Chains A and B, each alone.
Chain A
């Protein structure tokens, strides 16, 4: 408790400092009207909640009016298509995942979106993508699960085509066949695992509380590195899969955005992810904020888009 108090105090101090420095700048950009924040995720899930909290935090600290709106479907591609032709004056932004601009944009050829159509603002948090099962399955390690999978088909919940591909490759590498059930959103995977509709599934951080309380188990890390919460779990590379589910939630705006607007909105979002209500939620659900911005973000988005084809080929 004391620790959280300290953290909150530090965060408050930080935000105060950031706010005053913004005012001190004197030429702070501000939107002319409300900012439309499109959220590419189902209402009520972790991604949606953190976006809405960020919107609230920005309203509270800067007085900008931010209107969240759900534009779901097609793994974020619908939101990207909707955003693409909006004015690039800061009046419209969208929260998607890096995968939306990578694998999904590459797979949805008809939609005609690519990273060059957008201005990347900042990532908010990385996925703590684990392969998760309910503790009362009795599996304490990845091997236990594979033994069970050899005895009978297991249902593997995923929330995107890319993750379905990864689940397939994981099964192939381990010599088992999963029944891959693709649902909408990480919350749906967790509900499915909790309710017994699925035996295991990908969860991108939403499993944090459950793992901490011992209800859920991280069997493996689907990332290129270990999970923060369960560092001992094997990574996908350890398990013979060449690809990973590394990814981030990312805010984007239409291409051709003015630098002052880009910097101001980026700073506002980044600040919200590190202070206030959004920060608390991000710490709990996604293991802390990750703010990749500017040129670094541009490069990340482009390379994800370019490498999407390799994964699709591997699955063929």
Chain B
């Protein structure tokens, strides 16, 4: 069976899933996720990962743990991921409040455009750039992920894989957040949490004799606690201190005149930003905010050199600014699945929840084995994981199609979401998260653990420590330990297994270099 058989089987798995109301369920779920994603993205205070976190346990309780559940659930999550990115531009343009952090740069030119009465044009530019960046990134994903996975498998032995994991963690700890030291501490805490009750020994370690911890910390509890509850607690405290926020609800002069998009002028900016966003998305740990910043700054440099006289500058309502930002932040979402599918390494919070879904439902273990022809069973059989991978790609393209067709329309209608006050929103998020945890784990212990990690996440935010290295280290911790253990055994118990092959040595040197280099960078 060749690659094409897998591609076709993957596409069919999506389009021939059980129809509901005449539409295959997977496609319906992508649509649902996509619309929810735009809505959530357009609501300041909510973000894509938050919606993914809350939806996941609910989806699992609806679809169960069978293999058929994987594509609908992942489709929904991918829909949210993609919808949230374009949704974030809506309040940024209309009300000067970015719905998602990566849409901050969109406010710089979007809001001035809206003030000038060009809100609709700004939204259309944002939508077009976002959809183009997204599509480009997905194409790169489909072309690169299998290739990279096979490359990794054929060139990397166990010690090299261990070194690669160490390099990813070093990279994540150093680039995310403002302080390398805090990043490393956050990562270390994540590894510590991952060590509880795991390992090869029959005796569960680090459980303090608590039977509730004997199976380890429930992965959803730790992640939702740190990422969602931590954020909610911090935001509630901010509201308490600063008084009730008045949600930014300035009225904007709406102009019926939409005007031409001026596509020909925008395309170079979109193209450049899409490449930047895709490259950044493929690196584990660097999120869409950095992509947006880089896309914007590089476009700004180009714009000052090449703009026509009389055209608005960046920051004064240049559509190029919106195009550059939105193309960059949207092109992250496809590319960040490259490390997920080929290495099992999540690049950002959205990818964390995709891995969590695969992990909870089962039947799909992201990593190099996904793209082995024959799936190791024999040359004549379809590799079910590879079929699933192409099914996932198909859902991404379905989401793309929705983005091009109905995305823009829906996007223009959700501006109202930006007016929901945070003090109403946050308690609902809190309740939904705890309910979701209980639904998935069906034990009160999991709820207590979630609350505990919520306070950990809150403390991290209070001292300005990014919780993302914690989460990614928590996910990779078990993998890192197992690979290191196997590498150690496979090399005949050689304590220097990380330094004996040139590739492993290079990875380790890079890991050290990335930390030192980031330490020397002046804090921004």
Q: Which residues of A contact B (CB under 8 A)?
A: 42-44, 48, 52, 56, 67-71, 73-75, 77-78, 81-82, 104, 107-111, 153, 155, 161, 177, 179-184, 187, 190-191, 194-198, 206, 209-210, 212-213, 215
Contact = CB atoms under 8 A, between A and B. Distances in A.
B214 interface: yes
B65 A69 contact: yes
Interface stretch (B27-35, B234-242, B379-387): B379-387
Contacts of B372: 191, 194-195
Given A44-B385, A195-B368, A179 B490 contact: yes
B66 A44 contact: no
Given A43-B362, A70-B362, A206-B377, A182 B215 contact: no
B65 A67 contact: yes
21 contacts: A43-B361, A43-B365, A52-B66, A67-B64, A67-B65, A73-B197, A74-B202, A111-B202, A155-B489, A179-B493, A181-B158, A184-B482, A190-B376, A190-B377, A191-B372, A195-B368, A195-B369, A197-B490, A209-B377, A209-B381, A210-B376
Interface string B353-380: 0000001011111001100101011111
A181 B490 contact: yes
Contacts of A44: 362-365, 385
B198 A73 contact: yes
A170 B475 CA distance: 36
Given A44-B385, A181-B489, A215 B215 contact: no
B378 A209 contact: yes
Contact of B215 (A43, A73, A108, A187): A73
Contacts of B66: 52, 56, 68
A155 B490 contact: yes
Question: Would you list the 3 A-B pairs with minimal beta carbon distance, nearest first?
Answer: A43-B362, A108-B202, A209-B378
B151 to A, nearest CB: 12
A74 B204 contact: yes
B341 to A, nearest CB: 15
Contacts of A184: 482
B482 A183 contact: yes
B378 A213 contact: yes
A181 B376 contact: no
B490 A68 contact: no
B489 A182 contact: yes
A112 B493 CA distance: 32
B378 A77 contact: no
A78 B489 CA distance: 24
A196 B369 CA distance: 12
Which of A74, A184, A215 has the most B CB atoms < 10 Å from its CB? A74
A212 B489 contact: no
B153 interface: yes
Interface in B248-275: none
A48 B362 contact: yes
Contacts of B361: 43
A69 B154 CA distance: 34
Contacts of A73: 197-198, 215-216
B202 A104 contact: yes
A191 B157 CA distance: 13
Contact of B486 (A43, A183, A190, A212): A183
A286 to B, nearest CB: 13
B4 interface: no
Nearest to B372: A194
B492 interface: yes
Contacts of A213: 378-380
A110 B203 contact: yes
A196 B214 CA distance: 34
A261 to B, nearest CB: 22
Contacts of A180: 489
Nearest to B203: A110
B376 A191 contact: yes
A55 to B, nearest CB: 9
A77 B482 contact: no
A89 to B, nearest CB: 17
B500 interface: no
Contacts of B211: 81
Interface in B154-203: 154, 157-158, 197-198, 200, 202-203
B421 to A, nearest CB: 40
A67 B214 CA distance: 22
B491 interface: yes
A195 B153 contact: yes
Contacts of A110: 202-204
A68 B202 contact: no
Contact of A71 (B153, B154, B215, B380): B215
Interface in B485-513: 485-486, 489-493
B369 A68 contact: no
Contacts of B380: 209, 213
Interface in B130-163: 153-154, 157-158
A43 B66 CA distance: 10
Nearest to B157: A197
Contacts of B492: 153, 177, 179
A81 B379 contact: no
A151 to B, nearest CB: 14
A161 B202 CA distance: 9
B490 A78 contact: no
Contacts of B157: 196-197
B64 A215 contact: no
Contacts of B486: 181-183, 197
B99 to A, nearest CB: 35
A82 B215 contact: yes
Interface in B374-429: 374, 376-381, 385
Given A43-B361, A177-B492, 17 more contacts: A43-B365, A67-B64, A68-B65, A73-B198, A78-B214, A179-B491, A181-B158, A182-B486, A184-B482, A191-B372, A194-B376, A195-B154, A195-B368, A197-B158, A209-B377, A209-B381, A210-B377
